[in-house]
Amino acid sequence: MALSIIAIICGLALLVWSADRFVEGASAMAYNLGVSTLVIGITIIGFGTSAPEILISIFSVFDDTPNLAIGNALGSNIANIGLILGFTALIVPLTFASKLLRQEFPILIFASIVLAWVLWDTQLGFIDGLILIILLSAALTYLVRFSKTNEDDPISSELEQEIPHDMSTLKAMVWTLLGLLVLIGSSKMLVWGAVNIATMLGVSELIIGLTVVALGTSLPELAAAVAGARKGEPDMVMGNVIGSNLFNSLAVIGLPALMTQFSVSPSAISRDLMVTLFFTVLLFAMAHLPRNSCCHITRGKGFVLLAGFVLYQSLLYYQVTIK
């Protein structure tokens, strides 16, 4: 038990560190090669923030614990909206003006609906994975094309501050490779520890993915979101959440499905997928209604999101303790 707990703690710490190094290195390398700021934000930073979830899901599926992968993806989406955005808006209300984000919102809604469709029969395979990855590719292609005609988007200046401008290409390559290698090793370590804990406690891998893994990977992002909001970067905060949820919905579940076929727990569909859809639609409604407060997440809205997240976690705890 002690060794498994250490593996989870060290795995989470190394995941956060390596994901940051990977994003910094890849962003700097792309910047040095002349890639635009918005394209870097949409692709590299979007992928990098979800890289831990992607690798955890792939290892989970091949270790025959697919529900850890599903719990990780759905739990991260719920935590991104309920915990990260809810808590951040409670501290610093978020007003975003990015046209790019307004394009991403309906794409995320559609991606969530497609995800629900492929998960509904509790079976995932190559065709399901292909559908999700094709949708992700189409979404990224559309957003990249849109960004090229909106280079002055407000989020661009906020992204500019996140990309290292003084890092040499060689150093960027080293950080990218090192970050990726540590990401792989720490993901494997975390999955091993999480599966052992679940087995010893008699708790399902799904619950471990929804709680320990999802919360563990979200807490550093929570700190970064609050810091970003305090620095006056609300578009960046919102963009990270929407982009991460888009990758979680399509890549985190789609890539493992491309590699192998696996089954999903029915409770992940009836409970956790429904909560994910609810939070996604709720965020869309909050960001657009009422019309005179469009694109504004107030403290009151933040409280509702955070309260919903706490209620959901309480439900998970209750269902585990009554078994």
CA–CA distances in Å: residue 189 to residues 65, 111, 228: 14, 30, 30
Q: In the beta sheet, which residues pair with residue 56?
A: none
Q: How confident is the model at residue 153 (pLDDT cuts 50, 70, 90)?
A: confident
Number of domains in the chain: 1
Max mean pLDDT among 113-117, 144-148, 317-321 falls in: 113-117
Q: Which of 191, 211, 260 is nearest to 74 (CA)?
A: 211
pLDDT digits (tens, 9 = 90+) for 44-65: 888 887 888 888 899 898 888 8
Q: Which of 317, 318, 312, 271 is nearest to 81 (CA)?
A: 312
Rounded CA separation 46/316 (Å): 29
Q: Is residue 112's pLDDT more than 90?
A: yes
Q: Is residue 241's pLDDT more than 60?
A: yes
Q: Is residue 293's pLDDT more than 60?
A: no
**Domain at 172, CATH number:** 1.20.1420.30
Cis peptide before 164 (omega within 30 of 0): no
Question: Is residue 95 classed as helix, strand or coil in its secondary structure?
Answer: strand
Residue 241 belongs to domain spanning: 2-321
**What is the length of the chain?**
323
The predicted structure's pLDDT at residue 291: 67
Q: How confident is the model at residue 301 (pLDDT cuts 50, 70, 90)?
A: very high
Q: Is residue 119's pLDDT more than 90?
A: yes
Region 108-128: mean pLDDT is 95
Rounded CA separation 181/175 (Å): 10
What angle is formed at CA 110 by the lines to CA 152 and CA 311, rounded to 5 degrees? 100
Q: How confident is the model at residue 3 (pLDDT cuts 50, 70, 90)?
A: confident
Give 3: exposed, middle or buried? Use CB within 10 Å, 0-12, 13-18, 19+.
Answer: exposed
pTM, rounded to two decimals: 0.90
Rounded CA separation 231/162 (Å): 12
Max mean pLDDT among 59-68, 129-138, 211-220 falls in: 129-138
Rounded CA separation 233/239 (Å): 10
Structure token pair of residue 216: 């563990």
